[in-house]
């Protein structure tokens, strides 16, 4: 996708080679500037206890409130941010803002005290960022309790974790923070590693949930994944539940927690606060 543009500079014609790399640099600069300008917002999607419908957790999901394009979804900028490293400052902003917001809810809404906050982490934050220091600083600054924070890792980190990653996760775990493996089943995490790492939550990717109410084979596969999580004494959360029949089948398999449009869509902070205000105080206990 290389195009040539003639650029007139200092009276002479010069040729600027327009490459995808240049485009990446421009988009990276735009992303970093947007972090500085505070153009990102978080929406929160509840995770429910499917047996009772009670909210047990809220996952922070980032959106770019772009001055011209409106609300831009993470699918349009997260990959680039990971590629360029812009995810490190963006991810730090997400963690700080989510903890700040959740601490505020805890102070105002009784039911908010019983729920977990889950925040997505990028592999870059683990490899390049000073994550232990960032997490401890954010928790100290916001007053959000470590034992209510769950950091979501993708299977890439648990695929073949190096010693530094294992040590970092253990140090974080010692502060009281928990870990979830997100989108489980889409990567190639070896079962050994699941056992070796301090991971307490398994989130089954929605591709494993989609067909469980339509195909016996899909049902059997999801059933096996739930059994795997249960065997490792992990909390199992099914993602992308869109129909009541999927929720029923997951519960029958022994999967207690669910997330999906069938229960709640990701919502702006004010709406989540309203939901928590109306919730039973037994939430998440
Ligand atoms: P994820 O962490 O697996 O988050 C769940 C995604 O599935 C969200 O998309 C959510 O809106 C969507 N979803 C939830 N329920 C349903 C459902 O019933 N059906 C369908 N079709 N989709 C459902 P979203 O908000 O667009 O985020 C996409 C991905 O972007 C996230 O997937 C996560 O990997 C990444 N992401 C979002 N926020 C952050 C962030 O702050 N940091 C990092 N590193 N990644 C983030
Ligand atoms: Mg997630
Ligand atoms: Mg996920
Ligand atoms: Mg997913």
| Residue 83 in this model has a pLDDT that exceeds 70 | yes
Does ligand 1 lie within 6 Å of residue 54's CB atom? no
pLDDT for position 279: 74
Does ligand 1 lie within 6 Å of residue 246's CB atom? no
Cα(116)–Cα(102) distance, integer angstroms: 9
Cα(183)–Cα(166) distance, integer angstroms: 20
Ligand 1 atom at shortest distance from the alpha carbon of 73: 26
Please give the share of the chain, as a percent, with pLDDT higher than 90: 77
**How many helices and strands in the chain, by DSSP H and E?**
11, 11
Does ligand 1 lie within 6 Å of residue 56's CB atom? no
Nearest alpha-carbon partner for 99 in 144, 38, 45: 144
pLDDT for position 186: 84
| Residue 5 in this model has a pLDDT that exceeds 50 | no
Of 154-163, 229-238, 253-262, the least confident: 154-163
Backbone angles phi, psi at 164, to 5 degrees: -65, -40
Measure Cα distances from 283 to 109, 113, 164, 170, 234 in Å.
12, 9, 37, 29, 20
Alpha-carbon torsion (78, 79, 80, 84), positive or negative? positive
ipTM of the complex: 0.98
Are 45 and 267 spatial neighbours (Cβ–Cβ below 8 Å)? yes
Q: Name the pTM for this structure.
A: 0.91
pLDDT for position 14: 52
pLDDT in tens, 36-80: 999 999 999 999 999 999 999 999 999 999 999 999 999 999 999
Does ligand 1 lie within 6 Å of residue 240's CB atom? yes
Measure Cα distances from 15 to 11, 12, 162 in Å.
13, 10, 45
Cα(265) to centroid(ligand 3), Å: 14
Q: Whose CA is nearest to atom 44 of ligand 1?
A: 122
Q: Whose CA is nearest to atom 22 of ligand 1?
A: 240
Please, what is the average pLDDT of the chain?
Answer: 89
| Residue 281 in this model has a pLDDT that exceeds 70 | no
């Amino acid at each position: 996708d290389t195009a040539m543009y003639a650029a007139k500079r200092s009276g002479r014609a010069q040729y600027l080679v327009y490459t995808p790399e240049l485009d990446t640099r421009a988009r990276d600069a735009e992303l970093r500037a947007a972090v500085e300008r505070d153009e990102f917002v978080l929406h929160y999607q509840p995770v429910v206890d499917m047996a009772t419908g009670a909210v047990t957790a809220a996952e922070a999901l980032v959106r770019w409130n772009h001055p011209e394009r409106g609300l831009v979804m993470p699918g349009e900028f997260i990959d680039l941010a990971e590629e360029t490293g812009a995810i490190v400052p963006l991810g730090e902003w997400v963690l700080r803002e989510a903890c700040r917001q959740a601490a505020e809810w805890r102070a105002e809404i009784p039911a908010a005290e019983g729920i977990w906050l889950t925040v997505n982490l990028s592999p870059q934050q683990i490899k390049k960022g000073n994550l232990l220091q960032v997490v401890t600083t954010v928790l100290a600054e916001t007053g959000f309790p470590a034992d209510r924070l769950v950091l979501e890792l993708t299977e890439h980190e648990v695929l073949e974790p190096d010693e530094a990653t294992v040590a970092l996760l253990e140090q974080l775990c010692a502060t009281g923070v928990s870990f979830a493996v997100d989108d489980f089943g889409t990567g190639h995490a070896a079962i050994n590693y699941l056992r070796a790492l301090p991971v307490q939550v398994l989130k089954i990717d929605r591709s494993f949930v989609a067909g469980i109410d339509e195909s016996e084979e899909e049902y059997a596969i999801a059933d096996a994944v739930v059994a795997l999580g249960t065997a490792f004494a992990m909390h199992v959360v099914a993602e992308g539940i869109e129909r009541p029949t999927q929720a029923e089948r997951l519960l029958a398999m022994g999967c207690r927690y669910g997330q999906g449009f069938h229960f709640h869509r990701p919502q702006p902070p004010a709406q989540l606060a309203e939901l928590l205000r109306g919730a039973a105080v037994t939430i998440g206990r």
